[in-house]
């Protein structure tokens, strides 16, 4: 409790506080400027009346405490001096020696005999200790005692400003402690004398309502955790703008493929092309060869291949461009170091862009969950097993596969998962085994197989949260309240 509160609650019970000083001492509060400030401000508000009184107060010195406990200096010294004599050197270093010696000589208790001190009287009664005890116990000091005590610095006199406190005219009208500072209080100055409420540092506080995670973010976190749990490494996905080379050509996607039309892909005007800094010329030449005349046992697409087409900048249409960059780098590094290609599992979750007609379930941008495993002695069975495992972890154990076509995988499979809420299978992704035309061209050794897949993030999120239109959680029509309040559907992933 603050000084103010203590004073007020005491004045509720007792008519007055005799001594503010004594009150502070009893309540273990410092009798300092802030305590006196509390009295003054209560008085100024008419809540209490304070009557000032100067009091002199005696405080006992450490010296006196010592005398009370152990006897006066002369008494203690006298007890050490023998009748036959005690060498002065034996007692000279004692802390009470100086005063003890002076007083004992004055009282003729001892005398000096050569190097010794000799006791002159047989007994000595410690009258100093006795009178100090009595005076501190309440007996008025005689004039003589006052002089002695002063000389021996037993007592200290202090004049302090004390107060008698009683209820003031506004005591019962006093306001509840104020908790909020208002503009009005600042203007009229009442903040200075307000009865401020104390801080309660043990209060729990208000739980903040804002700052919930976006549904896409929550599902993304789930996917990410599953990948990490299964031992996958995350790939760097910080390039929304990609070259056609990495997005298509490196994946053995022919330059005449319809996906490379402006109807499907966003091409950039500025810069419309990219320099080939991250396109190693040898690798580019090998890509050209595999596309046009074929390589590694393949007859190729047998169509034109122009580097200018590969240099066109686009918004990446899939994160398979990220897998492609990663694999090409791993292969090149292994070759440069002369080390065997190390098996690896990688994933990424990030945005891709497609020039699509926007409707309830399609946006021109969405998120892809991409992954691949590069290892020896793996193939379709491992791809099926891994995807099943993945969707089981997501709460959708019923997975089906359908043969499909991708220019860069053979075989390829579309993935369907049973959605209990809808009571039917829905397409959740695409997958396959990367073709040798892609991998061997990069320098991935022949005995390494890469199984890969891409899932959408939006579909599973919409299923999980029972969202009908993708536009209600993404884009300019986002419903912020829905994002803030939505709970995961009970039947969801
Ligand atoms: N890139 C494909 C898509 O966008 C998904 C995929 C990735 C397919 C890897 C096979 C292998 O749908």
How far is the C-alpha of 88 from the C-alpha of 62, rounded, in Å?
26
Q: Kindly list the distances between the CA atom of residue 188 and the CA atoms of 45, 117, 191, in Å, as whole numbers in the listed order.
A: 14, 78, 8
Atom of ligand 1 nearest to the CA of 352: 4
Spacing, Cα 250 to ligand 1 middle (Å)? 14
Q: What is the pLDDT of residue 467?
A: 80
Centre of ligand 1 from the C-alpha of residue 405, in Å: 10
CA of 297 to the centre of ligand 1 (A): 24
Closest C-alpha residue for ligand 1 atom 8: 431
Residue by residue, DSSP assigns 265-304 as S-B-STT-B--STTS-HHHHHHHHHHHHT--TT-----S-
Best residue for ligand 1 mutational test, from 260, 350, 404, 430 (most atoms within 8 Å of Cβ): 430
Cα of 325 vs centre of ligand 1, distance in Å, is 14
Which residue has the least CA distance to atom 10 on ligand 1? 431
Closest C-alpha residue for ligand 1 atom 9: 453
CA dist., res. 252 & res. 436, Å (int): 9
Q: Which of 314, 414, 454 to mutate to test the pocket of ligand 1 (most atoms within 8 A of CB)?
A: 454
The side-by-side arrangement of strands in the sheet containing 399-406 is 233-234, 344-353, 365-376, 448-456, 424-434, 409-419, 399-406
Rounded to whole angstroms, how far apart are CA atoms 164 and 21? 9
CA 431 / ligand 1 centre spacing (Å): 6
- Give all domains of the chain, ordered by start, each with its CATH number: 62-151 (1.10.10.2330), 216-485 (3.30.930.10)
* pLDDT at site 210: 62
Length of the chain, in residues? 493
Atom number of ligand 1 nearest to Cα 432: 10
- Nearest CA to 306 among 246, 256, 263? 256
Q: Whose CA is nearest to atom 2 of ligand 1?
A: 454
CA 383 to ligand 1 center in whole angstroms: 13
Distance 360 CA to ligand 1 centre (A): 23
Ligand 1 atom nearest to 318, measured from its CA: 4
The confidence score (pLDDT) of residue 487 equals: 63
Q: Which of 246, 251, 319, 320 to mutate to test the pocket of ligand 1 (most atoms within 8 A of CB)?
A: 320
**Which residues form ligand 1's pocket by a CB distance below 6 Å?**
318, 320, 406, 409, 430-432, 452-454
Strands 116-119 and 86-87: antiparallel
Per residue in 374-400, pLDDT (tens digit) is 999 999 999 999 999 998 888 888 899
In 338-457, which residue ranges form alpha helices assigned H by DSSP?
380-393, 436-442
What is the distance of C-alpha 468 from the center of its chain? 36
- Rounded distance from Cα 454 to ligand 1 centre (Å): 5
Atom 4 of ligand 1: nearest residue by CA position: 318
Cα 325–Cα 327–Cα 329 angle in degrees, nearest 5: 70
295 Cα: distance to centroid of ligand 1 (angstroms): 23
Nearest Cα residue to atom 12 of ligand 1: 430
Series of mean pLDDT values for 10-residue runs along the chain (493 residues): 89 92 92 92 92 85 91 95 92 93 93 92 93 89 89 84 93 80 93 84 76 84 93 95 96 92 91 84 96 95 94 96 97 96 97 88 89 97 95 87 96 90 86 98 97 91 80 83 67 41
- Give 320 Cα–ligand 1 centroid separation in angstroms: 6
The torsion angle over the Cα atoms of residues 87, 88, 91 and 92, rounded to 10 degrees, is -150
Q: Which two tokens stand for residue 480?
A: 């912020």
> Ligand 1 centre and the CA of 185: distance in Å?
66
């Amino acid at each position: 409790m603050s000084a103010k509160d203590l004073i007020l609650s005491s004045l509720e019970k007792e008519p007055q506080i005799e001594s503010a000083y004594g009150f502070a001492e009893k309540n273990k509060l410092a009798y300092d400027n802030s305590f006196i400030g509390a009295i003054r401000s209560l008085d100024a508000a008419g809540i209490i009346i304070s009557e000032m009184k100067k009091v002199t107060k005696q405080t006992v010195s450490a010296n006196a405490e010592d005398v009370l406990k152990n006897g006066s200096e002369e008494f203690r010294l006298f007890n050490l001096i023998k009748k036959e004599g005690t060498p002065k050197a034996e007692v000279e270093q004692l802390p009470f020696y100086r005063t003890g010696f002076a007083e004992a000589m004055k009282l003729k208790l001892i005398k000096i005999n050569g190097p010794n001190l000799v006791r002159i009287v047989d007994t000595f009664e410690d009258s100093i200790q006795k009178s100090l005890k009595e005076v501190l116990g309440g007996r008025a000091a005689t004039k003589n005692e006052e002089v002695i005590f002063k000389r021996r610095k037993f007592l200290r006199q202090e004049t302090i400003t004390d107060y008698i406190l009683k209820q003031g005219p506004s005591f019962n009208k006093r306001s509840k402690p104020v908790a909020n500072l208002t503009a009005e209080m600042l203007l009229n100055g009442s903040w200075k004398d307000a009865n401020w409420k104390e801080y309660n540092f043990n209060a729990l506080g208000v739980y903040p309502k804002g700052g919930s995670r976006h549904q896409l973010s929550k599902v993304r976190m789930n996917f990410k955790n599953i990948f990490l749990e299964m031992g996958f490494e995350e790939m760097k996905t910080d390039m929304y703008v990609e070259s056609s080379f990495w997005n298509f050509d490196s994946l053995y996607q022919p330059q005449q493929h319809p996906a490379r039309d402006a109807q499907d892909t966003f091409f950039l005007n500025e810069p419309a092309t990219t320099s080939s800094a991250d396109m190693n010329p040898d690798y580019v030449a090998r890509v050209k060869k595999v596309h046009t005349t074929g390589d590694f046992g393949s007859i190729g697409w047998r169509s034109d291949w122009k580097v200018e087409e590969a240099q066109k900048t686009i918004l990446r249409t899939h994160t398979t461009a990220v897998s492609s960059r990663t694999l090409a780098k791993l292969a090149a590094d292994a070759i440069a170091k002369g080390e065997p290609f190390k098996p690896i599992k990688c994933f990424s979750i990030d945005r891709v862009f497609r020039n699509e007609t926007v409707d309830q379930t399609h946006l021109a941008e969405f998120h892809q969950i991409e992954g691949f495993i590069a290892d020896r002695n793996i193939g379709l069975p491992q791809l099926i097993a891994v995807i099943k495992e993945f969707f089981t972890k997501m709460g959708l154990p019923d997975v089906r596969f359908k043969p499909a076509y991708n220019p860069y995988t053979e075989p390829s499979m579309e993935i369907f998962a049973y959605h209990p809420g809808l009571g039917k299978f829905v397409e959740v992704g695409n997958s396959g085994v990367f073709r040798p035309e892609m991998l061997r061209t990069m320098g991935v050794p022949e005995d390494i197989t890469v199984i890969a897949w891409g899932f959408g993030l939006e579909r599973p999120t919409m299923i999980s949260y029972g969202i009908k239109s993708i536009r209600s959680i993404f884009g300019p029509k986002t419903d912020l309240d829905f994002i803030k309040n939505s709970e995961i559907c009970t039947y969801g992933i």
